[in-house]
Amino acid sequence: MERIILYLRTPAKSGEIKVRLRLTEGREVALFHKTGIKATAADLAKFDIDGRLKQRVSVYNYELARSLEEEIRYMRGAYANMKDKGLDMTSDIFEKEIADLKNPKQAERKAAGMTLLQRFERFIDDSFRDGIICELRYKHYRAVLTKLHRYLTINGMSQMAPAEFTEENILNFRLFIFDEYKYVDKYPKLYKECNERNKPKQRLNLNTVTTHLKKLQTFFNELESRDEIIKSPFRKIGTERKKAVMRTMFDEPYFLYSTELQKVLNTKVSEDLQEVKDAFLLQCALGCRIGDFQSLSMENVAVSPEGIAYIHYLPDKTRDGQETNIEVQTPLVRFALEIVKRTKFNFPITKYPCGQSGYNAKIKTLLRVCKIDRKVPIYDDTIKDNTYKAIHDIASSKLCRKTHVDIMNKVQVNMYAAGLHKEGSGAVTRYTKLELKDRFALMCTAFGQPSYKADKNLKIRKA
């Protein structure tokens, strides 16, 4: 049970004293409240430490007694609300809760307008509806919304309006995203709807945090352009500080060498790893993102008049941003064709990329079994320097795309030969005049695979 006591810091015996109250419960909670009450030392001497009138006192300041009783009632109500909402037990939040109880009409007016969370959610939904963002980016934006909801709730600001979000809130939200894993056990109510796999378990890396903030920045830019706020809080951050807050840092690219990929191809693995091996090798041969790879089926396979089997698809990341729906067409080298014929793109493991038993974890196990242990530099933000880790300890599905691009580069193939990006992309140019048969010949050379001709049923006609 909580206890509320008078907290008088002044030793004055005369004159007016500012009355503060302190609420405690055990050793964990200590909340202070500035009542705004001023009283003389003589009047306060007639009350005990719990704010109650002492026994046998008949002459006292009635207004002071009434005010103390009222403030204590508000404090108990605010504390009960904080526990019920799972808020952070700080005096600042305590004062806000007390203010809302004292001024219910003002709190209702504040709640009646669209809150920051409501406006951000509408922005996300409208952007998806209008085709500005694809389904994958929609999910990423929703993840930022969820984190913002937790941050505001913990800090007693869930009813905050968009215009009230300051540059200080941005900096504090950034720190929250970095270390959200520390709040999971402290505020279980906020994470009870969260899948165990998706609960924060460790400190996020710099690039992920910056990506989240950039999505929030896009939202505030929209509000500013629509005159819903005077100025985005991101534009109020100083130039140097903004560079530090919004910076990204990329490690030196790592990938499998051609010889290492061949080693994986030639290594016999256990039955439970065979599915992972097939998926990993096929994704390396195609060079597509995991989202696109998950959506592929036999419907995406075709055979050219020259007998070249290939896959064709619209990349999910750029689908809604392209002016023309030009498909990616990637020839299937021989080992990739055999995997497709055998598996029919049936890879249940790829449905769950993350988690201790997901696709990424299995890729690490596969490379460890294949003894792919070359060490690569990884930047450690805590020590501000590179550390060196075995590639099998950090591998994920992203390694497939990097490996594909590097192997193509090694044979002097300009990256648009792989047909992976739209024209003008900063990563790999999407379109070229190279015909499918020319790309097939280059890819066979790059991956060290023999040429072939297949019929419409994917049977090899001749080498």
pLDDT at 428: 42
pLDDT at 432: 44
385 neighbors 407 (Cβ within 8 angstroms): no
Question: Which range, of 298-312, 395-409, 425-439, 448-462, averages the lowest pLDDT?
Answer: 425-439
Confidence of residue 156 (pLDDT cuts 50, 70, 90): confident
pLDDT at 356: 79
Q: Which comes out higher in pLDDT, residue 331 or 242?
A: 331
Which residue(s) pair with 313 in the sheet? 328
pLDDT in tens, 267-303: 999 999 999 999 999 999 999 989 899 999 999 999 9
pLDDT at 386: 79
CA-to-CA distance for 456 and 302, rounded, in angstroms? 8
Question: Which range, of 120-124, 185-189, 304-308, 385-389, averages the lowest pLDDT?
Answer: 385-389
33 neighbors 94 (Cβ within 8 angstroms): yes
pLDDT higher than 60, residue 412: no
pLDDT higher than 50, residue 431: no
Compute the Cα dihedral for 4, 5, 6, 10 and give only its sign. negative
pLDDT higher than 50, residue 217: yes
Q: Where are the domains of the chain?
A: 3-111, 113-245, 258-462
pLDDT at 270: 94
Mean pLDDT score of the chain? 85
> For the CA atoms of the chain, what is the radius of gyration?
31
391 neighbors 251 (Cβ within 8 angstroms): no
Confidence of residue 207 (pLDDT cuts 50, 70, 90): confident
- Name the residue among 56, 57, 66, 80 with its Cα closest to residue 1: 80
User: What's the rounded mean pLDDT across residues 401-410?
Assistant: 86
- Name the residue among 254, 228, 234 with its Cα closest to residue 376: 254
pLDDT at 90: 86
CA-to-CA distance for 281 and 448, rounded, in angstroms? 14
User: What's the rounded mean pLDDT across residues 381-386?
Assistant: 73
pLDDT higher than 60, residue 319: no
Which residue(s) pair with 331 in the sheet? 310
pLDDT in tens, 57-68: 888 999 999 999
Q: Which comes out higher in pLDDT, residue 131 or 382?
A: 131
CA-to-CA distance for 458 and 45, rounded, in angstroms? 96
pLDDT higher than 70, residue 109: no
pLDDT at 112: 52
User: Percent of the chain, pLDDT > 70?
Assistant: 88
CA-to-CA distance for 337 and 100, rounded, in angstroms? 66
301 neighbors 458 (Cβ within 8 angstroms): yes
pLDDT at 352: 83
pLDDT at 252: 66
CA-to-CA distance for 81 and 265, rounded, in angstroms? 60
Q: Which comes out higher in pLDDT, residue 333 or 107?
A: 333
Q: Which two tokens stand for residue 229?
A: 């706020």
pLDDT at 182: 92
User: What's the rounded mean pLDDT across residues 30-58?
Assistant: 89
Q: Which comes out higher in pLDDT, residue 69 or 423?
A: 69
Looking at the chain, the number of H-run helices and the number of E-run strands are 18, 10
Confidence of residue 103 (pLDDT cuts 50, 70, 90): confident
288 neighbors 401 (Cβ within 8 angstroms): yes
37 neighbors 47 (Cβ within 8 angstroms): no
pLDDT at 105: 62
391 neighbors 373 (Cβ within 8 angstroms): yes
Q: What pTM, to 2 d.p., does this model score? A: 0.58
Please name the amino acid found at residue 281: L
Pick one of 1.10.357, 1.10.443, 2.60.120, 3.90.220 as the CATH number of 258-462. 1.10.443
